[in-house]
Amino acid sequence: MPRTHNTRFFSFPLRPLYGLILGLALLGMSLSGCRGQAAPAWPGLALQAERLYVVAGAQVVALNPDTGASLWHFAPEGKTFFTTPPALLQTAKDNALLVVGDQQGNLYALDPNTGKPRWQYENNGYPFIARVAYAQGLLLAPSSSGTLYALDAQGQVRWTFTATAPLWAEAVVHEGTAYLVSMDRHLYALDVGTGRLLWKENLDAAMAHGPLLHQGRLYIGTYGRGVKAFDLATRKVLWTALENAWVWHTPQMGEDTLYVGTSQGTVAALDPETGQVRWSREMGAAVIARPGWDPQRKTLYVATEDGGLWALQAQDGRVQWSRQEEAWDKKLYTEPLTNGSLLFLALHTGAEPAVLALDPDTGQVLWAFPAEE
């Protein structure tokens, strides 16, 4: 009786080879499949009159805000993942840059009209996380290495400043001073011209999102320590609200009210003077994205992580409309933006850019990018 097909198939010398390949494949699958890390970043949006810029995965796209038609598309060569929101910077009267950073530590300065790269700056491989700011002719680019790079409009480094932990938060500038919060629990004040450290204060909270500057105060969302108001004149924390809350965004300022969402699922309206809660609302899911603000309608747009979108009346938090689109099957981590006539929402796909344009009065979808969304 002849040997079975199986024994012949695995006969020497193939058997050791198959065993080896199988072993390596299993190990490779387990290493790649169980990496245990989420997608490194959430999508980012920036809006101007003629264009809506979307950054997600390895792509930057510019869309016509009225129609959703793609105007240009930028995807650098090689493997990358953009990790900063797009920063639209007016570097001269007739010159602007669209700046985005990636996980490999590259900053790309693009022509906002065409998407063509103007220059590229490469740091030592640490991801850029924060939106790049612009002041006094310098681009301020915080890096997760803990270094803040100040570059001129041509991409040349003018100075650097290094904190003791990753810098994930956008710098804000006020009267020649750049304010920077860090994961090392400190608020740093730097001279914008030179990068010299003017002072630093320990706020006893890891901070990963840029402060909101308003009337000489910084409002800062923290990890596990609520929201803090810091007075720049006295260099003192004025108040702390929503203690123990995890805030994953820069607080939003409405007419005279500060709005924040928490990963515990609450949206709160705070008195900017005292930090007292004017109203709060349980959203049923984590609010990671910064609430969007519509000054015309005096409406707050709250995106919940589970895909819910809520239009709340700014004065009392009453629901004007809400949507929970099961079909989206996407999480929401990005601030909804409005130009007055449309409300733009970036969907987290983990890779490709995906945007919806909604009617801000009803929440009805008017266009989607890509179209099938």
Partner 1 sequence: MWNRFILEPMLNLLLWLYAHVGDFGLAIILFTVLIRLALHPLMKQQTKSQEAMMRLQQDPRWKEIQEKYKNDRERLAQEQMKLYQELGVNPFGSCLPLLLQLPIIFGLYQAIMLALGNTPAQLLELVRHLYPALHAEQLLPIDNRFLWMDLARPERLYLPFLPFGIPVLAILVGVSTYFQSKLMSAATKPKDSPASKAKGKSGKKGRDESSQMESMTKMMNVYMPLFLGYITMTFPAGLGLYFLVSNLVTVFQYILLGKIEISLPWKKAEKAI
Tell me which residues touch partner 1 (CB under 8 A).
1, 3-4, 12-13, 15-17, 19-20, 23-24, 27, 30-31, 34-42, 83, 103, 125-127, 129, 144, 165-166, 168, 183-184, 205-206, 208-209, 223-225, 244, 246, 248, 263, 288, 333
Q: At 26, is the secondary structure helix, strand, or coil?
A: helix
Smallest gap from Cβ 97 to partner 1, in A, equals 23
Q: Identify which of residues 39 and 71 has a Cβ nearer to partner 1 in the complex.
A: 39
Neighbouring CB atoms inside 10 A of 253's CB total 16
Determine which helix (DSSP H) or strand (DSSP E) holds 20, and give its type and residue range: helix 14-33
Smallest gap from Cβ 232 to partner 1, in A, equals 24
Q: At 199, is the secondary structure helix, strand, or coil?
A: strand
Q: What six digits make up the tokens of 60?
A: 């930057």
- The rounded distance, in Å, linking the Cα atoms of 347 and 329 is 9
- The rounded distance, in Å, linking the Cα atoms of 116 and 99 is 11
Q: Identify which of residues 48 and 104 has a Cβ nearer to partner 1 in the complex.
A: 104
Q: Identify which of residues 207 and 309 has a Cβ nearer to partner 1 in the complex.
A: 207
Q: At 17, is the secondary structure helix, strand, or coil?
A: helix
Smallest gap from Cβ 330 to partner 1, in A, equals 14
Nearest to 261 by CA among 277, 276, 273, 249: 249
Neighbouring CB atoms inside 10 A of 26's CB total 10
Q: Identify which of residues 18 and 318 has a Cβ nearer to partner 1 in the complex.
A: 18
Smallest gap from Cβ 146 to partner 1, in A, equals 10
Residue 263 per-residue DSSP state: T
- β-bridge mates for residue 220, sequence order: 228
Q: Identify which of residues 86 and 272 has a Cβ nearer to partner 1 in the complex.
A: 86
Q: Identify which of residues 314 and 346 has a Cβ nearer to partner 1 in the complex.
A: 346
Smallest gap from Cβ 111 to partner 1, in A, equals 27
Smallest gap from Cβ 30 to partner 1, in A, equals 6
Smallest gap from Cβ 362 to partner 1, in A, equals 31
Q: Identify which of residues 173 and 183 has a Cβ nearer to partner 1 in the complex.
A: 183
Q: At 279, is the secondary structure helix, strand, or coil?
A: strand
Token look-up 């058997």 returns: 15
- β-bridge mates for residue 321, sequence order: 311
Longest dimension (CA), the chain: 95
Nearest to 236 by CA among 248, 254, 252, 218: 218
Characterize 182-207 residue by residue with b for buried, 16 or more Cβ atoms within 10 angstroms of its Cβ, and e for exposed: bbbbbbbbbebbebeeeebeebebbb
Q: Identify which of residues 243 and 359 has a Cβ nearer to partner 1 in the complex.
A: 243
Smallest gap from Cβ 205 to partner 1, in A, equals 7
